[in-house]
Amino acid sequence: MKKLIIGFGLILSLVNCITTRSLDKPVFTNRAEQPWVDLPKEIKRGPADCAPFASMINNRFLGLAPSGVILQSEWDAMKVALRTTNAGTDTKLLADYYKGKGYSYAYLNPKTCGDYSKVIEAMDSGCVGFRYMDIIGTGRAHIEAIIDGFAFAESCFFLTNSWGNKAKTSGFDKKDFNHTNLKDYNGDGIGVVDILMCPK
């Protein structure tokens, strides 16, 4: 997949979504009971439609879309809303989309398990998370919805929805990154940005 275009010019403050949390006890989200969102086989999608898919998943968490099966009409409308092309989605436009619906936008390059806990706490406060992964120097990148997470001491990971399949992602920005489902997204050459959309 071609690299998504990062729109760092629109990075906003998180508005109280991220706070410091001690890791003296396990930290995990309360999202596990949410219905899983499949990628229907009949969906006709483009080569770089990961951002629309991740957004449709997170919109269900936010109540911006009805729960249940994703239809082709919803898929097509989301691509239009995000102005997705065969080259991907500009994250500035992703942020604009959520800003227009009353959400703030922030990002975090995960360096420690404490950073994972900040994202988890934000999600439990009503935010939704996206994990953006960039294969540095290749022009290739990918983004997925964060579904669940865990952080305790030096152990931390996120579960993401990877094209309709559950994936475990762990490690940090440019250090020891691992994606269980995508073999190209592993190692020290992966730039990682966790993006949060939060109620204002």
Q: Where are the beta strands (DSSP E) in the chain?
A: 27-28, 103-108, 128-135, 140-152, 155-162, 165-172, 175-179, 190-199
Task: Give CA 57 to chain center in angstroms.
Answer: 10
Tell me if 61 is assigned to some domain: yes
pLDDT of residue 200: 86
Instruction: Give me the CATH number covering residue 77.
Output: 3.90.70.10
Per-residue pLDDT tens digits for 53-99:
999 999 998 999 988 899 999 999 999 999 999 999 998 999 999 99
Range of the domain at 74: 8-30+37-199
Per-residue pLDDT tens digits for 30-53:
555 567 889 999 999 998 999 999
Phi-psi region of 127 (alpha: psi -120 to 50; beta: other; left: phi over 0): beta
The pLDDT > 70 percentage for the chain reads: 82
Tell me if 100 is assigned to some domain: yes
Number of domains in the chain: 1
Tell me if 1 is assigned to some domain: no
Tell me if 48 is assigned to some domain: yes
Tell me if 153 is assigned to some domain: yes
- The residue type of 27 is V
Strand bridging mode 155-162 / 175-179: unpaired
Tell me if 3 is assigned to some domain: no
Which one has a higher pLDDT value, 168 or 18? 168
Tell me if 90 is assigned to some domain: yes
- Record the pTM: 0.85
Tokens 């911006």, located at residue: 64
Instruction: Tell me: pLDDT of 179 over 50.
Output: yes
Q: CB–CB of 95/88 below 8 Å?
A: no
Tell me if 187 is assigned to some domain: yes
